[in-house]
């Protein structure tokens, strides 16, 4: 069911007071869950004193794909309902911008062509421009459709990286491997990583030199030096090998720290892979992204909800130069 937007004053009241706005448009009683941040010894917390984890939206089936545009607005997907939403953090308004989205999962903002979409069900990469016009960017590799495009990031040149796991395995998928691909500007898809068990979440370092890749099955995050895209991926960090689930969505801040959604937490790693802090989330998180007017609000998609927490750190700003 598509969301019916609330009247503007009620939306502003609900968002600014910390109350959640449901997919059906109903205000919920306020009462953010207690914040649990566990920083490693010697590291000050990146969460300001008094910050709260606020649920800003709920009532969805499975949220994913958060990404901001150049205005600081947040886009996210509800995979089972095939819907893409846009949240304006300045007023709290949430609007559906596309239905019948092909099981849209990961999203990325491209400075030239708009919103880039991983269509998980249709096995392709597409885009919506600023006027809402739709176009397929890539649908096949070696004459076969992709498996289940999962996450996507854009480099400074406008090239597109996307992961393509196969959630139908052990049955053979359209592609023989679960992989990461690169679409150069005005070019055809290239397979650049095919040695991981289940590549899912992606993020680029602020300087664009490193691609981080979640391997959900192996409970690890890997790093690829993009000066040699065909080189070997290197182990970067591991999550708890005995906990349920593994790393999923990723994002970075302006200092190059990596934020990993997985195992009921947001894990924050320093640039050398050292764990700095974990933030407990009430529901298993699928992804996270910075957005908002000051780019210091970390938005977290988690099952039927979207959460927000104010951070001391700042997301990488979207500019005409970097997308």
Query: Cα(254)–Cα(295) distance, rounded to whole angstroms?
Result: 10
Evaluate whether residue 144 is within a structural domain. yes
Specify if 221 maps to a domain.
yes
The answer to whether residue 58 is domain-embedded is no
Residue 9's H or E segment, with its range, is: helix 8-17
Distance from C-alpha of 72 to C-alpha of 74, rounded to nearest angstrom:
6
**Domain-embedded: residue 87:** no
Domain annotation covers residue 284: yes
- pLDDT (tens digit, 9 = 90+) per residue, 56-99? 999 999 999 999 998 999 999 999 999 999 999 989 899 999 99
108-136 pLDDT tens trace: 999 999 999 999 999 999 999 989 999 99
Q: Give a yes or no: residue 193 inside a domain.
A: yes
What's the pLDDT score for residue 138?
98
Q: How large is the average pLDDT for residues 313-319? A: 83
Q: 64-82 as b/e, with b when 16 or more CB fall inside 10 Å?
A: bbbbbbeebbbbbbbbebb
Q: What angle do CA 35, 41, 42 make, to 5 degrees?
A: 110
H-helix or E-strand containing 8?
Answer: helix 8-17
Whichever domain contains 161, its CATH number is 2.120.10.30
Distance CA 74, CA 134 (A): 19
The parent domain of residue 250 ranges over 37-49+104-306
Task: Label residue 20 by pLDDT band (50, 70, 90).
Answer: low
Question: Could you give the percent of the chain with pLDDT greater than 70?
Answer: 87
Average pLDDT value for residue range 293-307: 96
Who has greater pLDDT, 70 or 35?
Answer: 70
Q: Is the pTM of this model over 0.85?
A: yes
pLDDT, position 35:
76
Name the CA radius of gyration of the chain, rounded. 18
Model pLDDT for residues 220-250, shown as the tens digit of each residue: 999 999 988 777 899 999 999 999 999 999 9
How confident is the model over 137-166, as pLDDT tens digits? 999 999 999 999 999 999 999 999 999 999
**Three-class DSSP labels, 176-222:** CCCEEEEECCCCCCEEEECCCCCEEEEEECCCCCEEEEEECCCCEEE
Gap between the Cα atoms of 135 and 117, Å rounded: 10
Domain count, the chain: 1
Structural domain contains residue 21: no
């Amino acid at each position: 069911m598509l969301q019916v937007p609330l009247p503007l004053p009620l939306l502003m009241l609900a968002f600014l007071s910390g109350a959640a706005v449901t997919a059906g448009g109903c205000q919920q009683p306020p009462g953010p869950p207690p914040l649990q941040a566990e920083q490693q010894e010697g590291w000050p917390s990146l969460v300001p004193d008094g910050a709260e984890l606020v649920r800003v939206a709920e009532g969805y089936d499975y949220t994913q794909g958060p990404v901001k545009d150049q205005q600081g607005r947040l886009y996210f997907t509800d995979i089972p309902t095939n819907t893409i939403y846009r949240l304006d953090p300045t007023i709290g308004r949430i609007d559906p911008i596309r239905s019948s989205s092909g099981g849209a999962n990961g999203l990325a903002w491209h400075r030239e062509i708009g919103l880039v979409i991983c269509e998980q069900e249709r096995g392709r990469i597409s885009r919506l421009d600023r006027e809402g016009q739709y176009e397929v960017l890539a649908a096949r590799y070696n004459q076969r459709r992709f498996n289940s495009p999962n996450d996507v990031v854009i480099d400074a040149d406008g090239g597109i990286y996307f992961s393509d796991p196969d959630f139908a395995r052990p049955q053979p998928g359209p592609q023989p491997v679960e992989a990461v691909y690169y679409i150069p500007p005005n070019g055809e898809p290239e397979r650049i990583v095919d040695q991981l068990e289940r590549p899912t979440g992606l993020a680029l370092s602020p300087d664009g030199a490193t691609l981080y890749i979640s391997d959900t099955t192996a409970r690890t995050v890997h790093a690829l030096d993009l000066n040699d895209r065909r080189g070997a991926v290197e182990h970067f960090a591991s999550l708890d090998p005995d906990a349920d689930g593994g790393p999923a969505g990723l994002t970075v801040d302006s200092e190059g720290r990596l934020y990993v959604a997985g195992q009921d937490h947001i894990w924050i790693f320093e640039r050398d892979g050292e764990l700095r802090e974990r933030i407990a989330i009430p529901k298993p998180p699928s992804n996270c992204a910075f957005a908002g007017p000051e780019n210091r609000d970390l938005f977290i998609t988690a099952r039927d909800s979207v959460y927000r927490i104010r951070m001391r750190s700042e997301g990488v700003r979207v500019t005409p130069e970097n997308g």
